[in-house]
Structure formats: structure tokens, C-alpha cells
Structure 1
Amino acid sequence: MTVEPTEVEAAAARTIFGPRLDLAHAYAQALATAGVERGLIGPREAERIWERHLLNCAVLQELVPADVELGDVGSGAGLPGIPVAIARPDLTVYLIEPMLRRTTWLREIVTELGLENVEIIRGKAHIVAESGQHFDVVTSRAVAALPTLAEWSMPLVRKDGQLLAIKGDTAQEELVAAAEVLTALGAASSDVVRCGESVLDTPTTAVRIVAGRQGQLPKKKAASAAGKKAPGSGAKSRAGSSGSGSRAGAKRASSSPGRRR
């Protein structure tokens, strides 16, 4: 099965992915074939790979500063992390995913595409947070309702960093529902933003939360973590085993966890 974008989608893809458009095509093809066969996306999604998955996710990069580390929580088939990494080779993108079959897929596709700016961490978000690792930007899509997602993801965000969660029409409602949780987690500000308005017929809606302090585990999880050895080196060794390039590894080595570069 060959998946080709419509004329409108192709024009948007050229703008978003630029000289790395071939990588986006290869990723779309992999999602529509092996991704469906292995249960990473539904069979009905194959016909709307470009609009619903690649372009919808890639435009999130408009909100991401240059040359930063980005953690993609609950990455699944690599969404939104891989489209963002293709569009923005200046970023170091960590795909955070607990399920073995999904991380196996992610390692395979990252190697196949030769994405030297992508690494993989197999683990749940709170386990990565227990290791002391933090990111300038943390992204997610279709992982959980915002109050729960914030509890999982905000501990991973560096001070003044951002949590960017792709949401739909309920974004504002979820933001209101999460207000108390966000205050407790040290959020400095939050808003609903739309990305890709100049290139997409239907822009992507996202919630943006700026961290007012270095990410910290909620008290219950922190107390639980204090009683056992933090797996900091383990999380990083798993990331390094993804087959990603030396450039990303060098970036990580030069930036100690929990300290903004």
C-alpha cells in the first residue's frame, strides 16, 4: 500500500519538512503498513496518515525553541515526537514509551530513517522523572486527560520549560479542569494555542503550560521513590541503546540531568 498526500497536504508537507520531506514520506509509508499490521495505529487511519498524524503533529514544532531537548511522553508509534524530529533536526528528541512492542518499533523506524537526533527511553514518565532527567519541552498526544497528563509530565519539565499537549475541541475545558493541579505542580502560565494556521486547513490545537520551577514528582510519588534506588543511569542507558547517532549522545553528555543548559 502506497500512501500519498493530497495536493494540499503535499504543499503543507513541503513547507513543514523542507529538505527532509523524503524522511516524512518514508515514515508515513511505515505507519500505513507495518504500523497498522503491528497494531500501532488503527487500519482506518492509513488513509489519513498525512492530515491526521504527520502534519497535525509536525506543526507543534512552531512552539519549540531552537537547539533544545524534547521529551515525548507516551510516544506510541512516535507521535508527535518523530514528525517534530524530522521537521527540526536541531532538536534532540527523546521518545518515552513503556511498552516493549512499541519501543521495538520505535528503534526499528528510527534506525531505518537514520534519525540521529532521536533517542528512545523505555519507561513510564514518573520512572524517568525519578531518575532526575528533565527536558526543555515535553510533548504528548492522546495520552490522558490534562489533569492526569500534567501529573505525569510536569515533573519532567525544566524551569521555564514547556509542556505542550495536543488536544482537540475540549482543550479549554481540560485546562480549566486542571487549574488546581497545575498550580500545585508549579505552572507559571498556561494557555490554548493553535499551530499550523498558515499551512493547514484545520490547525492543531494544543495546551501550552510553562513551568515556574524545576519539575518535581508529586509528594506521594516522591515519597515512594525515596525508598528505593533511583534508576537514573538505567534510563539513560536505555536511551543510548536505541541506535541513535553520536550527536544526540554528545548533547546529553554535555548537559547534566535537571540543569537547564
Structure 2
Amino acid sequence: MSPAEEVPAELRTLANDPLHGSAEVEEYFGDVYPRVRAFAELLADQGVLRGLIGPRELTRVWDRHILNSAAVVPFLGEGTIVDVGSGAGLPGMVIAAMLPERNVVLVEPMERRTAWLFESAEQCGIDNVTILRGRAEEVQESVEADVITARAVASVDKLVKWCSPLLSKTGHMALLKGRSAADELDRAKYVLRRAGFAGEVHEATTLASVEPTTVVTLRRTV
């Protein structure tokens, strides 16, 4: 039996997450809170079983995954959003739940994960998503993004190579990164220069009690 299968149903819940049901979380999300909460609850129930999150993350779904994903929203601008390597739906499904008027495309190469994305969109009433199975390089003919997001997918230099062909002429990228984002940007400077992009590191906040998220934006210079 795998560690995931050892997690009993009564523990696959947000009940032990200190932020679940809190007034500050509900106030932060406002009118879209019911959709976001539905996705968070489904992720807690099915995420470990499907290998999307680890058992120890069940007490931190809101801050580690949902709010971390939500932090990128102010950097998205207008137009079509494409989440590359969407996986568990982070940040793509959270973005779609928060921005019901926007078209959000989730690109994911693994069949079992695309199945999860279809199911969670249906069950949570998130109907503004398009789900494509494939790698970024494989969907270039069918997708044009005004902004590309990605979380825990690859380094900046690789993302530029894979994803820049998906961008519209005025498009940009808003990538969720870790604390070493500045170093990662520095290592990618030659790739960025050749591709015609400039990068900037931002500290994105959500709740005062939650650690800020690092967002890297890449914008065209030519």
C-alpha cells in the first residue's frame, strides 16, 4: 500500500488546515470564494490519492497551494491565460475560479492529470477553462496566449524556449517561482536576451499571515 492509499477518508479534508473557513480567506476571495473553496476541498479529498499533493500538505492546502496560486492574478493583464504544465490545476484552476470572465487554457501532458482537470472543473462549476493534453511545444498551432503562467514546471530558460512560441506579439509570462528566482533569472540572462525578453522579480502578497509568493514576469523587449 502506498503512503497516499494509507491516508483515510476522514483525514482527506481541510478540517486541519488553520485557514479553512477563516473570515480573512473568505474576504480575500470575495464573490468567487465558493468556487475556490470547492476546488480546495476537492484537492484535499482527491489530491493525495491521485499523487497531486503529499499527505503532509493537507494542513497547508490554502496557503501552500491556493493562496500561492492566487498571488499571480494581479500580474496577468488582459486576454487569454494559458497555464503550462497545469498538473493539479495550480495555478490555472485557481485563476479560472477567480476570473470567471476570462478564458483560461490548461495545458498538461499527463493523461491522468488531464482527467483530474476535467473532473474538477465540472464538479466545482469552473466552466471557463479549456483543457489540452500535450506539452507546450505540441499545442503551438492551437493556442495563442496573452499571458502564460507556470508553477513548478521548469527553469526560466527552459520555459522561455518552450513557451514563447505560444505568446501573442504583445504577450508576457507571469511565473510562480521560489526564493532563488533572482539567481535563476541571472542564469537565464543570455537565453532571455536572445529571445528578446526582460525579466523582473516581484514579491506578491495575499494575506498578512501568509508568506509572500515570488512572481517572475517576462516581457518582450523587441
Name the TM-score, length of structure 1 as normaliser: 0.75
Say which structure is richer in helix: 1
2:127 counterpart SS class: coil
Matched, 1:102 2:123: no
- Report the identity percentage: 40
Farther-moved stretch of structure 1 (32-41 vs 1-10): 1-10
1:24 aligns with 2:41: no
Number of aligned residues: 210
Distance 1:85 1:193 in 2: 22
Q: TM-score, normalised by structure 2?
A: 0.88
CA distance in structure 2 between the aligned counterparts of 1:79 and 1:170, rounded to whole angstroms: 20
Corresponding residue number in structure 1 for 2:95: 84
- Please identify runs of 4+ aligned residues in structure 1 that moved more than 4 A: 197-200
Alpha-carbon distance, 1:85 to partner = 1.1
Equivalent in the alignment of 1:113:
124
Secondary structure, counterpart of 1:84 in structure 2: helix
Q: Name the SS for the 2:146 alignment partner.
A: strand
Instruction: Find the counterpart in structure 1 of residue 201 from structure 2.
Output: 192
The aligned counterpart of 1:136 is: 146
Are 1:86 and 1:115, in contact at CA under 8 Å, matched by a contact in 2? yes
Distance 2:101 2:59 in 1: 30
Unaligned runs of 5+ in 2: 1-11
RMSD: 1.9
Aligned to 2:26: 14
Give 1:179 shift: 0.8
Q: How does 1:127-206 map to 2 (within 5 A)?
A: 127-129=138-140, 131=141, 133-187=143-197, 189-196=198-205, 199=208, 201-206=210-215
CA contact (8 A) 2:87 2:108 kept: yes
The corresponding residue for 1:41 is 53
* Whole-Å separation in 1 of the counterparts to 2:92 and 2:205: 16
Q: Aligned partner of 1:58: which letter?
A: A
